[in-house]
Amino acid sequence: MNRFPVIEMKGISKRFPGVIANDNISFRVYPGEIHALLGENGAGKSTLMSILAGLYRPDSGTIKVKGEVIRLHSPRKALEEGIGMIYQHFRLVNNFTVAENIVLGSKHVNWGIKQERIQKETREISHNYGLEINPAVRVNQLSLGEQQRVEILKMLYRGCDILIMDEPTTVLTPGEVKELFQVLRIMSRQGKSIVLITHKLNEVMEIADYVTVLRRGKVVGDDRIENLDEGILTRMMVAREVVYSQAQRDSSPGGVILNVDNLKIQGDRGNIAVHEVSFNLRRGEIMAIAGVAGNGQRELVEALAGLRKAVSGSIEYEGEEIKHYDAKSRIALGINMVPEDRIGMGLVPNLSVIDNSILRSYYKEEFYSGWFLNYNKIRSYTDRIINEYNIVLSDSNHPVNYLSGGNLQKLLLGREIDQKPRVLLASYPIRGLDVAAAEGVYDLLLKERDKGTAILLVLEDLDDIFRIADRVAVMYQGFIRKILDVEKTSIDEIGSIMVGTELAGV
Amino acid sequence: MLKLKLIRRENESTMARLIVPVLSIIMAFGCGWIFLALSGYLPAVVFAKMFNGALGSPYAISETIVKAVPLMVAGLAISLAFRMKLWNIGAEGQIYMGAFAASGMALALGNGSPYVIIPIMMIAAFAAGALWGLVPGLLKAYWQVNETIITLMLNYVAIYWVDYLVFGPWKDPNSMGFPLTPIFSPAAQLPTWGDSRVHLGLLLAGIIAIVFYLVVQYTRWGYEVRVMGESSQAAKYAGMNVAKNIMLVMMVSGGIAGIAGMIEVAGITHRLQQGVSPGYGYTAIIVAWLARLNPFAIIIVAFLFGALLVGGFAVQIVGVSFSITQILQGTVLFFLLAGEIFLRYRLVLAREEAV
Ligand SMILES: Nc1ncnc2c1ncn2[C@@H]1O[C@H](COP(=O)(O)OP(=O)(O)OP(=O)(O)O)[C@@H](O)[C@H]1O
Ligand SMILES: [Mg+2]
């Protein structure tokens, strides 16, 4: 491609207290290019793209947009230049309709909103890009995949020609990923450029034209996709070989520790999210819950952890009915849980890493003396978690939201595993982790399993299920359709149950 | 086309945090200067009077402290609730309830040992303020009723309740018609510093600030408050009882404001009277906010606000009309708040093409 780049970032540096997130980075994007940005957790990807989107200002360096040096001092300015970013946490207004969300805050709309007109406009754009969506429904009724489509439409409506997506596929089902890639291809054909941050190398190989790899804030390599493969990319990212641990299949599950019988759970909107599910969990086994997000997995896990009331049915823990126990008593019994929603539920964004490390154990005797919390002990506890679970950060007194996405996840998981759980419930434990870190988490989970912990994982990636789980329960529309032995099933079988095409022959 | 835009700052420098308020005050006085000149006063004289009246002599400073004390205590009360994102704007009413309960005790107990009477008054004031905080807290915790509206409405109930008492059953028969209760016995009056009006309440305010800080930063309950203030979801996940804590925080916040009321009647007026608080409960909201809910900053900001109030009185005495002093005070407030906005946001001049 010997056209001019649409984006040319030169010598970009950005320091945060105690860390150089971007160190003299140069980065280019050409029109119509799908550009993958890769790197380990904390490498500086989100920071670099937030600079391009006008959210952060660089300490030094210049940015040229379409050949002109531009100071991107705000997201709005960046949008005016045609640069739009979709963050991992969507920023939609839940009670507004799709169409309202799309036009909201754009400068074409000044005086009030005419429903018919905006719905028509929305329909036109969505049609052009194959982003089918009903403009009249409210956003809170959409799945995450659909919400993402709304975000993309919003950017297109504002005339973006450079779309940045930060880990867009982590919340999508395999089918939705395919659809997303289809849309990205259409956009690229129309001359729009896309920057994609992801940790999934197979996706990179499938969709990207060009790849830039960051490590510790520096560019360590960039090339056209034809010259690369997954092995080369991994080596660039982590500067060493990643040893893929092979799940030892010889797990030896013990007796049943958790027995769930006819459990019925209400969802957030008063609907029934989980209908009378029954299953049991044994010591020393990993059971995966497969299913398209939003089919009752979250509600099920929350009910087991005591964060949500069950309507009927029973939860027996070692033969004892615990349905009426609150979250604290369940932690005391050894039932630990890593929630799906990291920031907000799992962690308190503006409190320090130290404060966050005791979120689930602050009331334990070891952490206070007399009336006061004993911050000496808490601090050394935090340090131990940081070391043991390889959490990379510059200062544990900083607010936890300074941590990169992957390191947040490690903190969450480390904190729970450190409680020595007997039952561990975890939703999407490797979401957002780089290859090496994901391997680390697998190792951790397998070790826990071999110690006799019963583990229930909500997973989205079917390959992951086959690598780590012993059994898999497939959820669809609030029912557990089938519980299968991982060794005796196939990706296709699970996939078809997940989307409801195979009617469980019960 | 040139356009001005406000952009949120990524981080505020410590330098700016110190300089901006100072600049704001200077600009406020600049503005006031012009205004005074236009109204036919000699600005230099008025300002000198204002300054002298508020800070120019030991007496002036003591009067400033007298005004600052209720702002400190009420500011601390408010900031506790605000930390949990509970918008308690009912400190005014809680002050009145505290004043009412303390006065009731003082009048009922008559003379005795101050070591008994003062603590009893304090406990009563705390309880009455706490009750005034508990009502909205309860409604919020169990029925998600907006606490802002309830606390605001309860202010009127409390103010009129005190009015009723001082005009009716509690009125001093010898007051020649003024809405006042009889004066408290000496045992129900707070000791003062030398012959100034500075009373024990100042010490109490300091103690409350220190306790506040220690509790919020270093105790288990304080930890819960910090977590809940940020995210109720995380609090539930941590196994905290959110509803219980909403009520508790509202109670303690109301109770502290109640103590501010007790301090006023026991330290200054020595009786219950109409208008015991001239809006301290509202001014304290601004104090708490400018101090960013930091207990020690509240002490300092409250002192500055006390100076502003006392300086205003001082110029009234030399004949500047009440409304002018109100305007001067308003200007200072306006610039301080504006400065606060510039601290948090950046103003940029952006050139953009006409659409
Ligand atoms: N607002 C901030 N304040 C302080 N430090 C920050 C801030 N944002 C990011 N950092 C630090 O900068 C570094 C780069 O973070 P960044 O979020 O860009 O990583 P990333 O490549 O997106 O990682 P991940 O794949 O885990 O999301 C990290 O060390 C992180 O802790
Ligand atoms: Mg990131």
Full 3-state SS string of A107-158? CCCCCCCCHHHHHHHHHHHHHHHCCCCCCCCEHHHCCHHHHHHHHHHHHHHC
Q: Please, are residues A200 and A38 in contact by the beta-carbon 8 Å criterion?
A: no
ipTM above 0.90, yes or no: no
pLDDT < 50 positions in chain A: 1, 504-506
What residues of A are in contact with residue B233 (Cβ under 8 Å)?
Answer: 341, 344-345
From the list A73, A345, A372, the residue facing B7 with the nearest CB is A73
Q: Indicate whether B341 belongs to any domain.
A: no
- In angstroms, what is the span from residue A166 Cα to ligand 2's centroid? 7
What residues of A are in contact with residue B231 (Cβ under 8 Å)?
Answer: 344-345, 348-349
DSSP H or E run through A12 = strand A7-16
Strand order in the sheet with A60-65: A19-29, A7-16, A60-65, A68-69
What local confidence, expressed as pLDDT, does residue B228 receive? 92
Q: Among A25, A47, A195, A353, which residue has the most ligand 1 atoms within 8 Å of its CB, making it the best to mutate?
A: A47
Q: Indicate whether B259 belongs to any domain.
A: yes
Q: Indicate whether B237 belongs to any domain.
A: yes
From the list B5, B230, B350, the residue facing A351 with the nearest CB is B230
Ligand nearest to the CA of A21: 1
- In angstroms, what is the span from residue A431 Cα to ligand 2's centroid? 11
Tens place of pLDDT per residue across chain B (355 aa): 555 666 666 566 677 777 887 888 888 888 888 888 888 888 888 888 888 888 888 888 888 999 999 999 999 999 999 998 889 999 999 999 999 999 999 888 888 888 889 999 999 999 999 999 999 999 999 998 988 899 999 999 999 999 999 888 888 888 787 888 888 888 888 888 878 888 888 999 999 999 999 999 999 999 999 999 888 889 999 989 889 999 999 999 999 999 999 999 998 888 899 988 988 999 899 889 888 889 999 999 899 889 888 888 888 877 777 787 778 778 888 888 888 777 777 666 554 433 3
Size of chain A, expressed as the number of residues it contains: 506
Q: What distance in Å separates residue B169's CA from the closest CA in chain A?
A: 45
What number of other Cβ atoms are within 10 A of residue A333's Cβ?
17
What residues of B are in contact with residue A351 (Cβ under 8 Å)?
Answer: 226-227, 230
| Atom number in ligand 1 closest to CA B10 | 1
Does any CB of chain B come closer than 8 Å to the CB of residue A362?
yes
What local confidence, expressed as pLDDT, does residue A485 receive? 87
What local confidence, expressed as pLDDT, does residue A442 receive? 86
What is the C-alpha separation between A67 and A62, in angstroms, rounded?
11
**Cα separations in angstroms, A328 against A324, B237, B238:** 12, 9, 7
Over the stretch A366-393, which tens digit does the pLDDT of each residue have? 888 888 899 999 999 999 999 988 888 8
Using only C-alpha atoms, chain B has a radius of gyration, in whole angstroms, of: 22
Q: Indicate whether B242 belongs to any domain.
A: yes
| Atom number in ligand 1 closest to CA A217 | 14
Q: Indicate whether B51 belongs to any domain.
A: no
Q: Indicate whether B326 belongs to any domain.
A: no
What is the C-alpha separation between A35 and A188, in angstroms, rounded?
10
* Closest residue, chain A, to B8 (C-alpha): A74
Does any CB of chain A come closer than 8 Å to the CB of residue B237?
yes
What residues of B are in contact with residue A57 (Cβ under 8 Å)?
Answer: 10
Q: In chain B, how many domains are there?
A: 1
Q: Which amino acid is at B198?
A: V
For the four alpha carbons of A378, A383, A389 and A392, in that order, the dihedral sign comes to: positive
Q: Indicate whether B331 belongs to any domain.
A: no
Q: Indicate whether B252 belongs to any domain.
A: yes
Does any CB of chain A come closer than 8 Å to the CB of residue B230?
yes
Q: Please, are residues A456 and A426 in contact by the beta-carbon 8 Å criterion?
A: yes
DSSP H or E run through A414 = helix A405-417
What residues of A are in contact with residue B230 (Cβ under 8 Å)?
Answer: 348-351
From the list B7, B220, B223, the residue facing A74 with the nearest CB is B7
Over the stretch A141-163, which tens digit does the pLDDT of each residue have? 777 778 888 888 888 888 889 99
Q: Please, are residues A103 and A110 in contact by the beta-carbon 8 Å criterion?
A: no
DSSP B245: H
Q: Which residues contact B300 (CB under 8 A, 6 or more apart)?
A: B291
Q: What distance in Å separates residue A318's CA from the closest CA in chain B?
A: 22
- In angstroms, what is the span from residue B333 Cα to ligand 1's centroid? 39
Q: Which residues contact B101 (CB under 8 A, 6 or more apart)?
A: B121, B124, B125, B127, B128, B129, B258, B262
Nearest CA to ligand 1 atom 6: A402
Pocket of ligand 1 (CB under 6 A): A 16-17, 19, 21, 39, 41-47, 393, 402-406
Q: What distance in Å separates residue A400's CA from the closest CA in chain B?
A: 12
DSSP B85-111: T-----HHHHHHHHHHHHHHHHHHH-S
What is the C-alpha separation between A425 and A336, in angstroms, rounded?
6
Tell me which residue of A44, A413, A318 sits closest to A9, measured CA to CA. A44
What local confidence, expressed as pLDDT, does residue A244 receive? 60
Q: Please, are residues B176 and B191 in contact by the beta-carbon 8 Å criterion?
A: no
Q: Which amino acid is at A489?
A: T
DSSP A319: T
Residue B173, domain extent: 70-296
Ligand nearest to the CA of A166: 2
Q: Do A362 and B231 touch (CB under 8 A)?
A: no
Q: Do B239 and A345 touch (CB under 8 A)?
A: no
Does any CB of chain A come closer than 8 Å to the CB of residue B156?
no
For the four alpha carbons of B20, B21, B24 and B25, in that order, the dihedral sign comes to: negative
Q: Do B7 and A359 touch (CB under 8 A)?
A: no
Using only C-alpha atoms, chain A has a radius of gyration, in whole angstroms, of: 24
Does any CB of chain B come closer than 8 Å to the CB of residue A56?
yes
Q: What distance in Å separates residue A307's CA from the closest CA in chain B?
A: 7
Does any CB of chain A come closer than 8 Å to the CB of residue B345?
no
What local confidence, expressed as pLDDT, does residue A505 receive? 46
